[in-house]
Amino acid sequence: MRHHPLLQNPPGTAWLHLMPAETRDSKDDADETPHYHGHRERLRERFYVAGAEALSDYELLEMALFAAIPRRDTKPLAKALLKRFGSFAEVVHAPVARLREVEGIKDASINQLKLIAAAAGRIAKGEIRRSVALSSWNDVIDYCRSGMAFADKEQFRLLFLDKRNQLIADEVQQTGTVDHTPVYPREVIKRALELSATALILVHNHPSGDPTPSQADIQMTKAIAEIAKPLGIAVHDHIIVGKTGHASLKGMRLI
């Protein structure tokens, strides 16, 4: 009786000859740490030791996406987002519909970006509530820009102040289209009286990016100021914010 060649091998070794090479290789690959793990640790270390200023926009965006993408290199997506939108701030404030146009982005990443945008707005709002609004005009501008400069639709916002110029309330009164927001002066004053406000700062954004006031902006501001003045309510300013900066109607001597 002839023996099959496999039976002449030592016990337990025959199956090694039958095992495909790629099966063993795939196990070895699974045991290897992905290349981006070391990169993530180095990036975290730079952030903790040197601070956020030591990181570029794409590196900070990489880190922001770590939680949403735990098992994939986040650098390609971070760079694609910056290429599409321009800056870290523009990425986190970009409309969800436009974010979805970027190849490779999923809901988890979009949620993470929107969480960052919401956190930035809450922090700015908390800072301005703890301070006298007009004692640091730069804080007021930063607060307005963080919440509105990158919105894709016009918003008309009102900052209601008390007699010490402290913030009573911050409310979005109207949201419009990409280039127009309907504003009703009497509704503005009605709300100011309800809150016992003695001063107002009007704020709105220009999604086009150019904060230059239009003739309609100037006329609307003057109409509100005329109704407010006899009631003891001052209009301190009308600030227009955009991606490229801001404009103050008071600073431009238009009110």
Report the SS3 class of residue 240. strand
CB burial of residue 102 (10 Å; 0-12, 13-18, 19+): middle
Which of 98, 121, 144 is a domain's end point? 121
Query: What tokens appear for 108 in the block?
Result: 């988890």
Long-range contact set of residues 245-251: C-beta below 8 Å, sequence gap at least 24 = 245/211, 246/141, 246/144, 246/145, 246/149, 246/211, 247/211, 247/212, 247/213, 249/213, 249/217, 249/218, 249/221
Q: What is the mean pLDDT of residues 51-62?
A: 88
pLDDT tier for residue 100 given thresholds of 50, 70 and 90: very high
Instruction: Specify the 3-state DSSP secondary structure of 71.
Output: coil
Q: Is residue 8 part of a domain?
A: no
Mean pLDDT for 33-48 is 77
Residues near 172 by beta carbon (within 8 Å), at least 6 away in sequence: 155, 156, 157
Strands of the 245-248 sheet, one edge to the other: 167-175, 155-161, 199-205, 234-242, 245-248
- 171's CB contacts (< 8 A; 6+ apart) are 157, 158, 160, 191
- How many domains, in total, are found in the chain? 2
User: How confident is the model over 66-92, as a mean pLDDT?
Assistant: 91
- Whether residue 126 lies inside any domain: the answer is no
Assign residue 165 a region: left if phi > 0, alpha if psi is -120 to 50, beta otherwise?
Answer: left
Question: Domain residues for 239?
Answer: 134-248
Domain assignment present for 61: yes
Instruction: Let me know whether 229 and 163 are in one domain.
Output: yes
Q: Are residues 40 and 113 in the same domain?
A: yes
Helix or strand or coil: residue 242? strand
Average pLDDT over residues 203-221: 88
Q: What phi, psi does 168 have (nearest 5°)?
A: -90, -45
Kindly state whether residue 188 falls inside one of the protein's structural domains.
yes
Residue at which a domain ends, from 88, 121, 154: 121
pLDDT in tens, 140-186: 787 777 767 777 788 888 999 998 888 888 888 877 554 555 678 88
Q: Is residue 29 part of a domain?
A: no
Nearest CA among 158, 140, 133, 178 for reference residue 220: 158
Query: Given this model, what pLDDT does residue 180 score?
Result: 54
Amino acid letter, residue 100: R
- The DSSP call for residue 220 is H
pTM attached to this predicted model: 0.53
Tell me, yes or no, whether 60 and 91 share the same domain.
yes
Closest CA relative to residue 110, chosen from 100, 120, 101, 119: 100
